[in-house]
Structure 1
């Protein structure tokens, strides 16, 4: 068999956005055809969108997906194309990949292993398909092969591992290898998390080596449904070697990564492998044969698209910047909003949010060009008059400093400098009179003065809360997205004012800890993302000790003074949430990590952490949607479930302090 050209398409889809999803799929097919691709793999559930959630149970979703499938099939003349969609069969819903061949529906492979941990919830909607079982799907009077099937296109054999299928020990690829499959497609919806790309590369490379096949991995890209970020990153491997890799965090709606592979060479590899055992008694079980010859092609060199930052020593910083920037941009445009509003205090959290919002515009324009960027925001007609990067950023990002009598010149100057450096519009609201008015109203009603000695928390909180109405007002006026500025460390212990610094429609940094945010801002000050550069104005933020500035200046309030060192807090959180340790185990764990602190002090901090954690689940339940960035999330809707009411570790903490 002569070499053929295979490809993986990366798509930015949206749940139930049928027209846009179909347009992206057809664009990918046409781009692939123009470059001579014979077989193309598109992402998991790309027709409906992966994040439809309980809508997967709605009959109209399956009916519409079927209609869309038939339209898309007509675009596949001269090609074999894999697309994903939900399918109802025998009163159950299955997560399926459909192979379209030369304009017709060839059959459906149902996913065997469902992702049901972490942020994934597939068993709620889908049923796993049993290995070795084949059925027929009947729709509109026609029958289609369905279940554990693979395809033979005039001798070229194509099989599937659908996303999670490749992450398990007994992955289907072993069975496919015994049947002489030449190409394994992996249509995925694999969310971004720090360090996850290396795992994907390993199973793609090992799959191609161990199964003696060409392995084609495709994925979603962007903020598909609100919380999960997809980084794209198409991968094609053959014979244990990577032969093509596509870009990650692209602002494009569609990218196609292709490679020419020598099928005869992979077959020889199987023949030479002594451990390879053909399934002589069942090699044709589940085989769907079609009279279609995949076009042969001339050999081309490998295409490994690696941006310079992919090899950076600061890869996590680059990934954080790019994942957040893309997610923010997609969230804004898919919500059809006209920009962002940030209550910029001059501290770490709001400065980080401001930088990320600015990067979403700069990185988008850098990749798409100004016209391409504005085209994606075509609904925002007022943007058409802006013809340079600076004016677009200013139109899309507004920062507001809201001062009280407890605010300092240091934070005011830092806020102004950061906003100006990013290119945002900068406004100042004086809210001290509002604080005094509320204090006077409540004091008069209860018949006594309010003082810091007796009413500390209430007096702090009212300052944070009076800042909310003004920025909400501004966001409404500008049809913009108000971004909350609370981080994961604060969420763990409830060190945030509900309806104050937690107010907003999206909480972009609620998935990242404060200690890392501080490191990242130093990196932003000194280096910044590749192609964008540093933001020296951040030195005014980085030089400060984090503070809420809610108490009088003479009290010298700091976050770590109220709580504990953020490094200790984050270590407590990881030991408890990630490692599932109780108070005594957490104390022992962090005692090793921080030998500079005395045991009695550590007991105070561990006790404080567990008490505050237990009291503040209700706050975490009320946070605005946040982005998933690593597998230590505190988001109760997607990752970390904990009762709102509990015993508060009373016994464990009592034993800890005896």
Structure 2
């Protein structure tokens, strides 16, 4: 029997879909780092060989062929021997596609463990691509292809739900979603004496999600005891999700090691030395012992003589268990800055483009997008100072202005190389304040700034209408109709989109960048505006990537207020106090366009509507029933209650207005710029929010009629109650 002190390793890898050799190189590097730290067991992220977000590529046989080819290279690499390896890949078994783990040791496959519970909600479509293994604690034989038979020396290996037994302990594999299920596999494994659980994940970031993830893992081991190794994908692997790493090791409910949640490191390995005797002592309670003794959940154990803790290592007086430490969290503001910055850097370096361009309006949304790019530059400069060679190589490849090979030394210097801001004004609609704020922000962050007016282009396009129809459209402040007003606003908005792409394509060449290239255009429509449809289809909200597309106005304001101090950007204060306006209508002494006035609802109310619609899954009638209480004008005010006070009729009007505009503008979501996913009520039609885009008129719908009926009943009851009160008085 081996000793009781075991060094284990988990990791976060910045994999990239279908980057076969790059992914393998990062896997091998993580194994080398784990071995260097003395680890005898290493676990990596879900589907790490091919990249988690391969999506419908999982229908292609090439993905399975190339995954096995990379697995062979890993098995042949003797530098990866003398350590148990838990690696993720897709497997085709009996013509069924599985999301699987391969447990490897010294060039041999010990077990292929398929995922049992698949993620199939929100951003995940695993049931579209894979079949779950529905036979708990059962195994069968997997017929190896010839390229693996030569390595294995056998034609078959075990496939299914089993665990690995070493001389001193046993460990079992759990995959991502299985942790989140009510009856997670780790429960039965723990009851059967498995002391180490590995979890390979492809878990994406949303604001404050880490707390949920940590609580689940801590509770799993707090209740069952044991060592839990959590590995996760990190970075942008080709989709609109950011995987936020945070590999960790937890023992008996206590964190002993936690990796970074946001990092530009392509490979990050987390190790800890754990004491198996602590697990055994923790599990010695009578209630747990009785459950374990009577449990029928018995796992097949695959025996190996490989010791996780050789006897002689325990005699080393310097070797001791890693001490527990408190969990590390980021605030919402930090999460926005770090997630947005890291995602934008991954997207930029992997897209092979010259940089980013943002139409900077002088409002808080485009300000937030620009500040996120500046956050990216700060993170990159810090990585350069830390000696991150991958980042240094990427910066040298992207930054081609000035002296060849010279690295920028400040975030502003890097910003000037990779980031262009452009203010596209109209003489009668744009204010000196917004133009000034845009210029001031550009100066502060160092972006290459373009200040221009689109009046001539606008007048030329407007002239086409006059020449063709003999009719001149007017704004409503000049006596025009709603349709005329809308036409002229959309005309400006779409000219800005065309102009942004025009300058994005030509500016690198005009600035003398070797090789030219194009800039990626960033969008700045927040989640509330998209939900309400308060944007012009194919205007400057149409872009290549929208880093704030699933962040609401309140969180954006918190982020800007935080960045004002943290990034030393006092100019951001003016954006916080400015009234949100699209500036698409002429400014007069009596009228200045206001977003919230145009929408007929506040941004805070939009956030509530969005959460109730998506997270609580409420339709118009159910939402009215909920809000008539939550927003009741009769409720007692309590501390922290910031909800508005509305009568039932006002609530009915608000709910119906929201669903009316949501329905008629739903078609805009089909062309919505891909947004970095940060919130679970995003209206992104392309991946996340799968709903129709052609609805019958809500004003004539049965759901609105039911709201009216319920409103009538409520008001009648209120009148009766008021009448009884008068009689009593």
Q: Same fold (TM over 0.5)?
A: yes
| Distance of 1:586 and 1:209 partners within structure 2 | 38
- In structure 2, the residue matched to 1:462 is 491
Conserved? CA contact 1:11–1:43, under 8 Å: yes
The 10-residue stretch of structure 1 (256-265 or 405-414) with the greater mean CA deviation from structure 2: 256-265
Match of 2:83 in 1: 79
1:135 aligns with 2:136: no
Cα pair distance change 1:598/1:204, threshold 3 Å: closer
Q: CA deviation at 1:537?
A: 0.5
2:694 is matched with which residue? 645
Match of 2:43 among 41, 44, 64: 41
How far 1:82 sits from its partner (Å)?
0.7
Does residue 396 of the first structure (1) align with residue 418 of the second (2)? Answer: yes
Counterpart in 2 of 1:561?
597
Q: C-alpha separation between the residues in 2 aligned to 1:197 and 1:27?
A: 26
Equivalent residues in 2 for 1:1-400, closer than 5 Å: 1-73=3-75, 74=77, 75-130=79-134, 131-139=136-144, 140=146, 141=149, 142-276=155-289, 277-278=291-292, 285-296=299-310, 297=313, 298-302=319-323, 304=325, 310=329, 315-369=331-385, 372=388, 373-380=391-398, 382=400, 384-389=405-410, 390-400=412-422
Once the two structures are superposed, what CA deviation does each residue of 1:199-253 show, in whole Å capped at 9, x if it has no partner? 2222222222333321111111111222111111112111222211111101100
Cα separation, 2, equivalents of 1:8 and 1:305: 18
Tell me the CA shift for residue 584 of structure 1.
Answer: 4.0
Report the Cα distance in structure 2 between the residues aligned to 1:281 and 1:491, rounded to whole angstroms: 51
CA shift in 2, pair 1:272/1:607, >3 Å: closer
Q: Which moved more, 1:344-353 or 1:588-597?
A: 588-597
Give the Å deviation of 1:598. Answer: 5.1
Q: Does the 8 A contact of 2:396 with 2:407 survive in 1?
A: no
**Displacement of 1:589 after TM fit?**
3.7
Task: Write the mapping of 1:547-626 to structure 2, written as runs, cut at 5 A.
Answer: 547-554=581-588, 555-563=591-599, 564-591=601-628, 592-593=630-631, 594-597=643-646, 599-626=648-675
Verify the 8 A CA contact 2:205 2:678 in the aligned structure 1.
yes
Q: Spell out, residue by residue over 1:506-549, the C-alpha distance to the aligned partner (whole angstroms, 9 max, x if none).
A: 11111112233233322322x33xxxx34211122122100000
Distance 1:108 1:460, change over 3 A: same
| Count of residues paired in the alignment | 648
* Candidates 512, 515, 518, aligned match of 2:551: 512
Is the alpha carbon distance of 1:258 and 1:596 closer, same or farther for their aligned partners in structure 2, counting shifts above 3 Å? same
> CA–CA distance in 2 between the matches of 1:481 and 1:211?
49
- 1:370–1:2 Cα change, 3 Å: closer
Distance 1:349 1:488 in 2: 10
Query: Comparing 433-442 with 128-137, which one deviates more in the overlay?
Result: 128-137
Cα deviation, residue 275, structure 1: 2.1
* TM-score, normalised by the number of residues in structure 1: 0.94
Aligned-partner Cα distance in 1 for 2:84–2:683: 42
Which residue of the partner structure matches residue 468 of structure 2? 445
Contact 1:102–1:292 at 8 Å: present in 2 too? no
When Rg is computed on C-alpha atoms for both structures, the one with the higher figure is 2
Q: Contact conserved, 2:9 with 2:271, CA < 8 A, in 1?
A: yes
Counterpart contact for 1:159–1:185, Cα < 8 Å: yes
Matched-pair contact (CA < 8 Å) for 2:5–2:321: no
Q: CA deviation at 1:182?
A: 1.8
User: Which deviates more, 3-12 or 67-76?
Assistant: 67-76
Q: Which runs of 5+ in 1 are unaligned?
A: none
Displacement of 1:291 in angstroms is: 2.3
Q: Report if aligned partners of 1:208, 1:239 keep a CA contact under 8 Å in 2.
A: yes
**TM-score with structure 2 length normalisation?**
0.85
Q: Identify the range of structure 1 (273-282 vs 513-522) with the bigger mean alpha-carbon deviation.
A: 273-282
Q: After superposition, what is the alpha-carbon deviation per residue over 1:430-454, rounded to whole angstroms, capped at 9, x for unaligned? A: 1111000000012211121111213
Report deviation, 1:295: 4.1
Contact 2:254–2:325, Cα closer than 8 Å, also in 1 = no
Work out the CA distance in 2 between the residues paired with 1:375 and 1:302.
37
Q: Structure 1 residues 161-170 or 270-279, which shifts more?
A: 270-279
For 1:357 and 1:300, locate their aligned partners in 2 and report how far apart those are by CA, in whole Å: 41
The DSSP-based 3-state class of the residue aligned with 1:614 is helix
Shift of residue 469 of structure 1? Answer: 1.9
Deviations 1:546-567 (A, max 9, x none): 0000001013111011012211
Unaligned runs of 5+ in 2: 150-154, 314-318, 509-517, 632-642, 710-729
Determine the C-alpha separation between the residues in 1 that align with 2:541 and 2:343: 19
Comparing 87-96 and 422-431, the one that deviates more: 422-431
Tell whether the 8 Å contact from 1:177 to 1:211 is kept in structure 2 after alignment. Answer: yes
The partner residue of 1:494 within 529, 533, 538 is: 533
Counterparts of 2:57 and 2:671 in 1: how far apart (Å)?
A: 23
Q: Quote how far apart the aligned CAs of 1:17 are.
A: 0.6
| Structure 1 residue 354, shift from structure 2 partner | 0.2
Shift of 1:602: 4.2
> How much does 1:588 deviate?
4.6
CA distance in 1 between partners of 2:285 and 2:555 (Å): 49
Cα distance in 2 between the residues matched to 1:338 and 1:507: 17
1:538 aligns to 2:572 (yes or no) = yes
User: What is the SS of the residue equivalent to 1:256?
Assistant: strand
Distance change in 2, residues 1:393/1:273 (3 Å): farther
Q: Which stretch shifts more, 478-487 or 7-16?
A: 478-487
Of the structure 1 ranges 562-571 and 179-188, higher mean CA displacement relative to structure 2 is found in 562-571
1:419 to 434, 438, 442: 442
Q: Distance in 2 between matches of 1:124 and 1:282?
A: 33
